Amino acid sequence: MIIKKEASMFYNAKPELYEKAKVLRNKMTPAEVVLWDRIRNNQLGVRFNPQHPIDIFIADFYCHKSKLVIEIDGEIHSSQTEYDIGRTAEMESYGITVIRFTNDEIFNELERVMAEIRKCITELTP
């Protein structure tokens, strides 16, 4: 794996992506709202940003200190597996860890999801 040089916590995202991210922050999905309620305001000891630009993508949630992206996959993701694999690989090329959960997991297994996120934070945070 080749690690790309990090320019900033936005990894060379273009200005128009910031505007799109701002719109998405105001239109979070129900699953994103549930998770955001549990990870916002440093509740896990690190700061997450919702709808965060990274290169050409917008990550659902990003923690720069841990270099951790959390993606919430809705129905559409079942038909775009290869795209998601490429998207994850691109973010990983910056040294970012990507973890994914389905809407179902957020709604029905939130405590397990939270435990997995805490574990990743512990392993990844310097």
Give pLDDT, residue 79: 59
Res. 30: pLDDT tops 80: yes
pLDDT in tens, 55-89: 999 999 999 999 999 999 877 645 567 888 999 99
Residue 98 domain flag:
yes
Query: Does some domain include residue 6?
Result: no
Q: How far is CA 78 from CA 3, 12, 70, 108, in A?
A: 28, 29, 17, 18
Is residue 1 over pLDDT 70?
no
pLDDT tens digits, one per residue of 113-124: 999 999 999 999
Q: Kindly report, residue by residue over 91-120, the tens digit of the pLDDT.
A: 999 999 999 999 999 999 999 999 999 999
Q: What is the pLDDT of residue 4?
A: 53
> Which pTM does this prediction carry?
0.88
The answer to whether residue 2 sits within a structural domain is no
CATH number at residue 90: 3.40.960.10
Q: How many domains is the chain built from? A: 1
Q: With respect to residue 5, please indicate whether it lies within any of the assigned structural domains.
A: no
Give the pLDDT score at 18. Answer: 87
CB atoms under 10 Å from CB of 73, counted, come to 19
56 touches 94 (CB < 8 A):
no
Residue 7 lies in a domain: no
Q: Could you give the count of Cα atoms lying within 13 Å of 52 in the half-sphere of its Cβ?
A: 23
Structural domain boundaries, residue 56:
15-124
Residue 9 lies in a domain: no
Structural domain includes residue 8: no
| Section 36-44 average pLDDT | 97
Q: Is residue 3 part of a domain?
A: no
